[in-house]
């Protein structure tokens, strides 16, 4: 009887989508990593949401965004944490678009003035 060869599952690194999302969904780990990267203290992370898709139902032909992790601190600053593994030479443009989507969806409630906007970081 022949022995079936063992299938070795590939190991995925920290920036692999599923691994990154799972690790960063732990609030303590997420907070530690963000504070290490950003070099300042964060009071609290309200919610890490992995792969939060932001759709604009009125403009279906427009490109949607999918945040890797979107968190908010007690100072009402928003943090879009993205794990980029490929340099497509358009990161500045992507950040501009993502920030616009964050503003559209998360930073200003109806009836508020623009001074009430949360600060995207």
The burial of 12, by beta-carbon neighbours within 10 Å (0-12 exposed, 13-18 middle, 19 or more buried), is given as exposed
DSSP state of 49: E
Q: What is the pTM of this model?
A: 0.61
Residue 61 CA: distances (Å) to CA of 21, 88, 120: 27, 23, 25
- Look up residue 64 and give its two tokens: 């949607």
pLDDT at position 47, please?
Answer: 61
- Domain spans of the chain? 17-116
Summarize pLDDT for 71-100 with one digit per residue, the tens: 777 777 777 777 777 888 998 898 888 888
Q: Are 42 and 69 in contact (CB under 8 A)?
A: no
The residue behind tokens 């409630």 is 109
Q: Are 47 and 106 in contact (CB under 8 A)?
A: no
Average pLDDT over residues 50-65: 68
CA 30 – CA 53 distance, rounded (Å): 19
Summarize pLDDT for 5-57 with one digit per residue, the tens: 777 766 677 777 777 777 878 888 888 988 898 887 888 776 656 666 666 66
Question: How many C-beta atoms lie closer than 10 Å to residue 31's C-beta?
Answer: 19
């Amino acid at each position: 009887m022949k022995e079936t060869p063992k299938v070795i599952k590939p190991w995925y690194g920290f920036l692999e989508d599923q691994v990154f999302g799972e690790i960063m969904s732990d609030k303590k780990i997420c907070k530690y990593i963000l504070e290490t990267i950003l070099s300042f203290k964060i009071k609290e992370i309200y919610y890490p949401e992995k792969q939060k898709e932001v759709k604009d139902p009125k403009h279906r032909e427009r490109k949607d965004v999918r945040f890797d992790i979107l968190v908010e601190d007690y100072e009402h600053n928003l943090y879009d944490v993205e794990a980029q593994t490929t340099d497509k030479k358009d990161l500045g443009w992507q950040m501009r678009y993502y920030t616009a989507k964050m503003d559209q969806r998360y930073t200003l409630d109806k009836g508020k003035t623009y001074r009430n906007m949360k600060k995207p970081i």
